A and B are shown apart, each in its own frame.
Chain A
Amino acid sequence: MKNIRFVNIAIVALSFFFHSCSSTVPTEKEIIGEWISGDGAKLRLKANGTFEGEMLPGEHFFGQTQEYKGKKVYGSGKWLLKKGQDWWEISMSFNKILNQEDEFDTQILISGSSGLLSQTPPWYLFEWKDEEGGERYIFKKH
């Protein structure tokens, strides 16, 4: 009987744990504004749902392909705050990319700066530099 009680308590505790991990949700108001990376790249997310990007590192935003590797990308398009596979993310649809004819759909992830699992604000935006779980390419709000 004691074992059953312990299991129940553990399940409830885990539920609270995971609930608290995912309960803080970024809002559009918190996301709108100018975000700057350590190497000077800029991302301006506007209230009308459009964005502008400057000096965005190609390999982090556009995948590890030769086409964008090492390139700094300038472009604009529409953004949308949404829940991704698990991370909150900003879906970015580039409809103009300097010196490129293509449109491009990509995402940038949102993480908190505090909390056990970095789930609480202040928020920052990031792309994985290489594989998921490794180093992050970070944008902080200006």
Chain B
Amino acid sequence: MDGNNRKRCFGNIYKFTRKEDAFNAGVKLNDIFGTWDFTERGNKDRSIANFIKGDPERTGILLREVNINRRRISAKFVSRLNKQRANQGGGPGPFQVGWEWLTGTGPRHRDFTNGDYFTELLRQHSHIEETRNLIRNGSRKGVNNYKLGGVQEVGLYIKDYSTLLTVGATGNLAVTYLGSYGLTYNVTGISGNLTTVLFTVTNSSTIESATHPPVIGYTPGWSTYIGQPLNNFFSSGPLSRTTQTFNWTETIRLK
């Protein structure tokens, strides 16, 4: 840890301002630091306000000195650290996009593609995998929207929103923000048993979509008397409609 690093100690937590140094220290000293997490941009603590403001995977790695017996952490730990780091894409994530919607700042429409952090999160969602299975089973072009509105989707609802309680340990953070979304897929090329697929996900963020509860919130009455009047009230500025489009391609091995 060289002199350029500002090391802060919060009990057993060491915080670094430079990701590279933190990462290297984490690898070198993995016999000391038992667990780790990313830190958010420039923030000194993980208060709720700072957590909402920025995507936590941006600037550093927070190392927790929990391994007091100096037991060497397995190669699996280092591998996981490397993998997570490699998967870090660019562009804003769900928290930033959510903050923009909440405050009325930033662009009203955003496009995401392969490699973007938000896209890479979304690609891990179970519904995307279900769509891949449709393609493996022979579908070449279609719509497979992700729906949350019915009685049986209460479980999905809880799972998607559990990310907020478990700070990402369960659910999918991208879908926590998106909620239901529109999905189209299009096979653009087949070579042997490999197929190239273009996925397009569309989503709009409105006060209606943010506030409707499961089941009854998806009925025509709710939309007419609560959802749409709310949308009209927040037609500009904070809480007004923003849209997101995700376009990415991937290769899928057919059965």
Seen from chain A, the residues whose Cβ lies within 8 Å of a Cβ on chain B are 18, 21-22, 61-65, 84-87, 102-107, 116-118, 128, 130-136
Contacts and interface: CB of A to CB of B under 8 A. Distances in A.
Interface in B191-235: 200, 202-204, 206, 208-209, 212, 215-220, 222-223, 227-228
Contact of B216 (A61, A63, A107, A117): A117
A85 B147 CA distance: 7
B41 interface: no
B124 interface: no
Contacts of B114: none
A97 B243 CA distance: 29
Contacts of A118: 219-220
Contact of B151 (A21, A132, A133, A134): A21
B42 interface: no
A117 B180 CA distance: 19
B140 A103 contact: yes
Given A117-B215, A136-B220, A86 B142 contact: no
Contact of A131 (B139, B204, B215): B204
Contacts of A135: 223, 228
B153 A86 contact: yes
A106 B179 CA distance: 20
Given A22-B151, A64-B202, A65-B200, A133 B208 contact: yes
Interface residues of B, number: 40
Contacts, number: 97
B216 A104 contact: no
27 contacts: A22-B152, A62-B143, A63-B143, A63-B200, A63-B202, A64-B200, A65-B200, A84-B147, A87-B147, A87-B149, A87-B150, A102-B186, A104-B141, A105-B134, A105-B139, A116-B216, A117-B216, A118-B220, A128-B145, A131-B203, A131-B204, A132-B147, A132-B209, A133-B209, A134-B208, A134-B228, A136-B220
Given A62-B143, A107-B143, A18 B151 contact: yes
Nearest to B203: A131
Main secondary structure on chain B at its contact with chain A? mixed
Contacts of B218: 132-133
B217 to A, nearest CB: 6
Contacts of A116: 216
Nearest to A130: B204
Contacts of A103: 140-141
Nearest to B221: A118
A86 B200 contact: no
Nearest to A21: B151
A116 to B, nearest CB: 8
Contacts of A128: 145
Nearest to A119: B151
A99 B153 CA distance: 37
Contacts of B151: 18, 21-22, 86, 117
Given A133-B180, A133-B218, A134-B228, 19 more contacts: A22-B152, A62-B184, A85-B147, A85-B153, A86-B153, A87-B149, A103-B140, A104-B141, A105-B141, A107-B143, A117-B151, A118-B220, A128-B145, A132-B145, A132-B148, A133-B208, A134-B206, A134-B209, A135-B223
A140 to B, nearest CB: 13
Nearest to A60: B143
B142 A133 contact: no
B143 A133 contact: no
Which one of A107, A117, A131, A135 has the highest number of Cβ atoms from chain B below 10 Å of its Cβ?
A: A131
